[in-house]
């Protein structure tokens, strides 16, 4: 019987944040279009509302793209099965893992509770965004690599 351990899950807080961003962008776009039509012909007002339209489109598109990307990320990102990890559906032997890197998602005002995890292995590299508690996941994968190497199974 193989022991299974869920190592990484998708964060739950990214999807609502990006959905609200997309909705906010659409709201900015609608308000800008309505008020641009009511501008009294001054060039400054038209330019201001035109810039707000561009901002609305950008916020809506980026919010929608990241929302879809978060929705497409599976709930279980990484799990261990014996001497292998299953990372985004790719079966990687522990002996082939060369490096594990993580980066917390951040904004101008601070860090989020999730981030990007990258696993370098003998056949290439694979990465995932929206990893909940990415630093703990990174530490767990490094621990598994070291335990596997210490047991001499990699030889």
- Beta-bridge mates of residue 100: 119
pLDDT per residue as tens digits for the range 83-136:
899 999 999 999 899 999 999 988 888 888 899 999 999 989 999 999 999 999
Residue 41 banded pLDDT, cuts 50, 70, 90? low
Is residue 31's pLDDT more than 50?
Answer: yes
Helix (H) or strand (E) holding 13: none
* CB-CB contact of 7 with 84 (8 Å): no
Q: Can you tell me the distance from the alpha carbon of 121 to that of 88, in angstroms, rounded to the nearest whole number?
A: 14
Is residue 152's pLDDT more than 50?
Answer: yes
Residue 1 banded pLDDT, cuts 50, 70, 90? very low
**N-terminal to C-terminal alpha carbon distance within the chain:** 23
Q: Can you tell me the distance from the alpha carbon of 129 to that of 108, in angstroms, rounded to the nearest whole number?
A: 19
Strands (E), the chain: 4-9, 76-81, 84-87, 90-93, 97-107, 110-121, 124-132
pTM: predicted TM-score of the whole model, two decimal places: 0.79
- Contacts of 47-52 spanning 24+ positions with Cβ under 8 A: 52/28
Please report the sign of the dihedral spanned by the C-alpha atoms of residue 15, residue 20, residue 21, residue 26.
Answer: positive
């Amino acid at each position: 019987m193989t022991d299974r351990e869920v190592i990484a899950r998708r964060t739950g807080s990214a999807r609502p944040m990006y959905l609200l961003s997309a909705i906010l962008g659409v709201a900015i776009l609608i308000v800008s279009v309505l008020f641009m039509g009511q501008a009294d012909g001054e060039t400054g007002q038209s330019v201001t509302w035109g810039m707000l339209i561009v901002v609305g489109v950008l916020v809506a598109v980026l919010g929608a793209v990241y929302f879809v990307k978060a929705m497409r990320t599976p709930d279980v990102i990484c799990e261990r099965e014996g001497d292998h990890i299953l990372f985004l559906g790719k079966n990687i032997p522990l002996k082939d893992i060369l490096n594990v890197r993580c980066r917390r998602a951040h904004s101008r005002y601070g860090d989020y509770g999730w981030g990007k995890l990258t696993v370098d292995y003998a056949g290439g590299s694979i990465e995932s965004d929206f990893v909940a508690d990415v630093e703990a996941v990174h530490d767990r994968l490094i621990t598994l690599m070291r335990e596997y190497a210490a047991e001499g199974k990699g030889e």
